[in-house]
Amino acid sequence: MTTQVNGLDSLALRADDMATQNNSENLTADKHQDVEVLETIGENILENPKFSTRNVNVFYGEKQAIFDASLDIGQNEVIALIGPSGCGKSTYLRALNRMNDTIDSCRVSGQLKLDGEDIYDKKMDPVLLRARVGMVFQKPNPFPKSIYDNVAYGPRIHGLAKNSTDLDEIVITSLERAGLFNEVKDRLTAPGTGLSGGQQQRLCIARTIAVSPEVILMDEPASALDPIATAIIEELIDELRENYTIAIVTHSMQQAARVSQRTAYFHLGKLVEVGETNLIFTNPRHQLTENYITGKFG
């Protein structure tokens, strides 16, 4: 309840701010420059984490996108990564399952460990890693295949099903968990691309959980969806928390407040503040965090 009030508060603050924006624009820009991020404030280090990252730097060619970020992600928690556009939150997320490997110019340094194993170690196979750390993307991207084949693809390539009944079961449970089964049970052979945007995104989530990953990374999963579809996805995230660790990047502070237990605020490639979600939104410790959640910029 508190979090919701908070979301509304910040909205109101933002509206107030809009009115005076013309006057305060220069002031905000100055504030932006003045506040130097020296080190991360808050509880970024956990005991016994699922993911543990220390001093992560990510470069795109010459340009550095992430500066010395150290963050732990706990078992079965939902952590929200928030921050203004271009702050590096998606880049950080994509470093966690080595999706950045596909970009030639991208380099990652620092220590990233999943259950104590270094994921950038030579011995770590990115294919195996991505089977353990699934990803849901910003834009729903079902394969141009049937709904069934979309979900069955992961289990098939990894050989997770012994026979077709096994596979059927995996597909059905995954769809059920993604809250999509009842809507599509009569048309599993219909193309996945024919579903509505929200259904497509839930199909993508079903596809991801069909591989039974340990962690699910979500890169703004609801940004292309309408409010109703967004609400369904958010409910789903809450249910998935029982079995999975989830890191979600979001532009919407209300969404972060609704779905996450912890929130990390990124600013210009630096991890500024990490803390319990309701504390971050009610009592931000860093000036930049406060500016962002009160809508002074973003």
Partner 1 sequence: MNNTETVKNSLKKRYAREKRFQLYGRMAVWTGFIFLAILLFDIITKATPAFQATEIFLDIPLDPVTLELQADTQLDEETLRAIDYAGLIKKSLRQAFPEVKKRKDKKLLYKLVSSGAEFKLRDMVINNPQLIGNKPLSLWVLADDDVDTFYKLETVTSRIKEQQIGFIDKLKQDDRIRTSFNTTFFTHSDSREPEQAGIRGALMGSFWTLLVTLLISLPVGIAAAVYLEEFAPQNKFTDFIEININNLAAVPSIVFGLLGLAVFINFFGIPRSAPLIGGLVLSLMTLPTIIISSRAALKSVPPSIKEAALGLGASHMQTVFHHVLPLAMPGILTGAIIGMAQALGETAPLLMIGMVAFIVDVPGGFLDSATVLPVQIYLWSDSPERAFTALTAATILVLLGFLAVMNAIAIYLRKHFERRW
State in angstroms the smallest separation of the CB of 154 from partner 1: 4
Residue 181 is a binding residue for partner 1 (CB under 8 A): no
Residue 225 is a binding residue for partner 1 (CB under 8 A): no
CB atoms under 10 Å from CB of 165, counted, come to 9
Residue 296 is a binding residue for partner 1 (CB under 8 A): no
The identity of residue 197, as a single letter, is G
Output DSSP code: residue 297: -
CB nearer to partner 1: pick between 94 and 262: 94
Exactly one of 67, 153, 181, 297 binds partner 1 (CB under 8 A); that residue is 153
Q: Which residues of 124-134 are buried (b: 16+ CB within 10 A; e: fewer)?
A: eeeeebbbbbb
Residue 88 is a binding residue for partner 1 (CB under 8 A): no
CB nearer to partner 1: pick between 178 and 211: 211
Residue 141 is a binding residue for partner 1 (CB under 8 A): yes
**Segment contacting partner 1 by CB under 8 A, of 33-41, 175-183, 202-210, 279-287:** 202-210
> Which of 87, 81, 201, 82 has its CA nearest to residue 135?
201
CB nearer to partner 1: pick between 207 and 262: 207
**Segment contacting partner 1 by CB under 8 A, of 137-145, 224-232, 240-248, 282-290:** 137-145
DSSP result, 185-242: TT-TTSBGGGS-HHHHHHHHHHHHHTT--SEEEEESTTTTS-HHHHHHHHHHHHHHTT
CB nearer to partner 1: pick between 50 and 130: 130
Residue 195 is a binding residue for partner 1 (CB under 8 A): no
Q: How would you classify residue 37: left for phi > 0, otherwise alpha for psi between -120 and 50, otherwise beta?
A: beta
Alpha-carbon distance of 102 to 84, in angstroms, equals: 25
Exactly one of 86, 157, 235, 285 binds partner 1 (CB under 8 A); that residue is 157
- Name the E strands within 121-194: 133-136
- By CB under 8 A, the residues from 89 to 128 that bind partner 1 are 97, 99, 102, 104, 127-128
CB atoms under 10 Å from CB of 43, counted, come to 13
Residue 204 is a binding residue for partner 1 (CB under 8 A): yes
Residue 47 is a binding residue for partner 1 (CB under 8 A): no
